[in-house]
Structure 1
Amino acid sequence: MGKARTHPMTHITRRMFEFLEPICLVTYFADECNEELAALGHRTYWDGYFAAVPHRWEECRRRSCTRPSTAFSKGEAARHIPSAWETIPPEASVAARERGSAASLRRILSDELVNNPGLVRAAGLTTKAAMSAPTEGRVMYAAMRTLPVPSDPAARLWHSATMLREHRSDGHIAALVGARIGGIEAHVLSALEQGIQPPESFGRIHHLPKKRLATVMDGLRQRGLVDSDGRFTDTGRATKHRIETLTDELAIPPYEALSPDELDELIAALEPITSVLVAAGSQ
């Protein structure tokens, strides 16, 4: 049986992820977003984090607000939502998130890049891509699509980059589900890919009960994904590779809205922006 072929667009989606992720990360690494959310009255970082993510709010209320994401353990969102919405409307938190994130971009990039035609063009092309994909099966992306696109170029670039991030994230979750990898298991595989040993020490999961982590590791061993020392087996590494490849493939639809020349133009416009953000650690 021959080696599976990858879609010719997957290298584009991987490059775009690398270019856009530093734009999105200002929301979590820089101070302005946290300051905006704290000013609204959110008591903790995680209250603001969950309250500002544009879920399908009523659906979340009906389903006890457990976000369908691998980023958090079961019930973690429910510890913050709906309590974080009881005194602060979710729409206000979403707006604060956008204000703070755009302010971070302006500060880090400085006037030279913020006022450059390249940023305006990058924002326009990113928005064209972000508004072009089907929403079926894309819960978080569909929620982002319901929000108005900002007119300010820096805010528009952040907003559209975040839409594309959520689109990719929805696809990543589908890839994980298809591989029968749960949330904590996904973090273990991610930790191993980053060279973190033991993987249970990874920041996203180290606080979980040791018994629960031991059960997860035992399950991965039984499936042949990790060895007795808690390290990747060849099967585990191949499984992780298949998940990432499928994630890249599932991220293709937005970029099909751009012509080859527009994709080249977008990459050229994003290069100096991403370079500055990476150097600053998006903070």
Structure 2
Amino acid sequence: MFELIEPIATVSFSKVVTEAFLALGMRNYWDGYFAGRAAPLGLAPAEVVHAVFYNFADGEVARHVPWVWGKTTPEEAIAVRERSSATVLRRGIGVLAEAPGLVRVADLAARAAVSAPTEGRALYAALRTLDVPAEPVARLWHAATLLREHRGDGHNAALLAHGIGGTEAHVLMALTLGMRAEKFDRLHHLPTARLAAVVDGLRDRGFVDAVGGFTDAGRQTRERIDALTDELAAPAYDELSADELDELIAGLELIAAARYKRSDD
């Protein structure tokens, strides 16, 4: 489900959505990212957004929040994000956007998306306060976003339970992808001394070896975090019967195939 839902939700981070936020007066991609993704939290201060998002380095959020709220409001940011994200998704799936089956897929996804527990899941709970869009493509995007952030909140809990901080999580991700930490796009901007201190801390805990690669213990910890993340995400789909879940998966696979084909075109 993660592999099928994630590409739908993350159209929010595409060029079209960024341009929609730039039109509001945002300075760059990250202004739009924080305005759109943090908007359901209202006028939360940077410290709160930092805590909820979990994996940004100290000071990153504060470069954008609350500055963005001088250019737009949370309500406007929510509307712009939904509208532009639905536009991207509609273009991506082509004729499927008007197919009767899309309504069914969007409805099943939305049922799952609004049924999950909210306890301990601040961003998901904030999204649950928003109205579910009536238009099917927008409803599918909204449902995917809810499911993504529900999983994300659970992932943060799994990281926390294993004593892995946000920047440390990016180092583990880089190693999972087979690259050195300083080459990872979410880490290369950090001061060299700061990144070295994070890697040294993971080395002291036995997660990183002398040359900056995974140890067996580090890899096993990453695998445990991923397994717990999956386990915590699963209740979102308990609302659906086995047949309905199969139907949802089949519909999402068609959407994924359509998006892949159009990206090749």
| TM-score grouping bracket, smaller chain normalisation | over 0.9
Residue 66 (structure 1) shift: 2.3
Q: Which residue of structure 2 lines up, in the alignment, with residue 226 of structure 1?
A: 208
Q: Which residue of structure 1 lines up, in the alignment, with residue 41 of structure 2?
A: 56
| CA contact 1:23–1:277 (8 Å) conserved in 2 | no
Q: Which residue of structure 2 lines up, in the alignment, with residue 180 of structure 1?
A: 163
1:89 to 69, 73, 79: 73
Whether 2:21 is the aligned partner of 1:32: answer no
Residues 72-121 of structure 1: CA distance to partner in whole angstroms, max 9, x if unpaired? 112211110111102311211111011111000111111x2111122111
Q: Which residue of structure 1 lines up, in the alignment, with residue 229 of structure 2?
A: 247
Whether 2:242 is the aligned partner of 1:257: answer no
Whether 2:249 is the aligned partner of 1:267: answer yes
How many residues are paired up?
A: 264
| CA contact 2:208–2:218 (8 Å) conserved in 1 | yes
For 1:207 and 1:175, locate their aligned partners in 2 and report how far apart those are by CA, in whole Å: 26
Q: Which residue of structure 2 lines up, in the alignment, with residue 66 of structure 1?
A: 50
Residue 158 (structure 1) shift: 0.3
For 1:191 and 1:207, locate their aligned partners in 2 and report how far apart those are by CA, in whole Å: 14
Residues 40-61 of structure 1: CA distance to partner in whole angstroms, max 9, x if unpaired? 2212111111011134224x22
Matches within 5 A, 1:116-155: 116-155=99-138
| CA contact 2:55–2:165 (8 Å) conserved in 1 | no
Whether 2:168 is the aligned partner of 1:168: answer no
Structure 1 residues 224 and 278: alpha-carbon distance in aligned structure 2, compared to 1, 3 A threshold: farther
- Secondary structure, aligned partner of 1:229: coil
Residue 130 (structure 1) shift: 0.5
- What one-letter code is carried by the residue in structure 2 that aligns with 1:114? A
The percentage of counterpart residues that share the same residue type is 54
Whether 2:174 is the aligned partner of 1:191: answer yes
For 1:262 and 1:102, locate their aligned partners in 2 and report how far apart those are by CA, in whole Å: 24
Structure 1 residues 61 and 131: alpha-carbon distance in aligned structure 2, compared to 1, 3 A threshold: same
Q: Structure 2 stretches of 5 or more lacking a match?
A: none
Residue 281 (structure 1) shift: 5.7
Larger RCO (CA within 8 A; separation ≥ 6): 1
Residue 190 (structure 1) shift: 0.4
Structure 1 residues 70 and 237: alpha-carbon distance in aligned structure 2, compared to 1, 3 A threshold: same
More helix by share: 2
Q: Which residue of structure 1 lines up, in the alignment, with residue 2 of structure 2?
A: 17
Residue 279 (structure 1) shift: 4.7
Residue 194 (structure 1) shift: 0.8
Q: TM-score, with normalisation over the residues of structure 2?
A: 0.95
Structure 1 residues 130 and 35: alpha-carbon distance in aligned structure 2, compared to 1, 3 A threshold: same
Structure 1 residues 244 and 228: alpha-carbon distance in aligned structure 2, compared to 1, 3 A threshold: same
- What one-letter code is carried by the residue in structure 2 that aligns with 1:42? M
1:201 to 158, 183, 188: 183
Residues 160-215 of structure 1: CA distance to partner in whole angstroms, max 9, x if unpaired? 0000000000000000000000111100100111111x222100011100001111
Q: Structure 1 stretches of 5 or more lacking a match?
A: 1-15
- What one-letter code is carried by the residue in structure 2 that aligns with 1:153? P
For 1:152 and 1:282, locate their aligned partners in 2 and report how far apart those are by CA, in whole Å: 27
Residue 70 (structure 1) shift: 3.6
Structure 1 residues 137 and 49: alpha-carbon distance in aligned structure 2, compared to 1, 3 A threshold: same
| CA contact 2:40–2:78 (8 Å) conserved in 1 | no
| CA contact 1:70–1:186 (8 Å) conserved in 2 | no
- Secondary structure, aligned partner of 1:25: helix
For 2:264 and 2:56, locate their aligned partners in 1 and report how far apart those are by CA, in whole Å: 22
Whether 2:81 is the aligned partner of 1:102: answer no
**How large is the RMSD of aligned CA atoms in angstroms?**
1.7
Structure 1 residues 93 and 282: alpha-carbon distance in aligned structure 2, compared to 1, 3 A threshold: farther
Residue 24 (structure 1) shift: 1.2
Residue 27 (structure 1) shift: 1.3
Residue 282 (structure 1) shift: 11
- Secondary structure, aligned partner of 1:252: helix
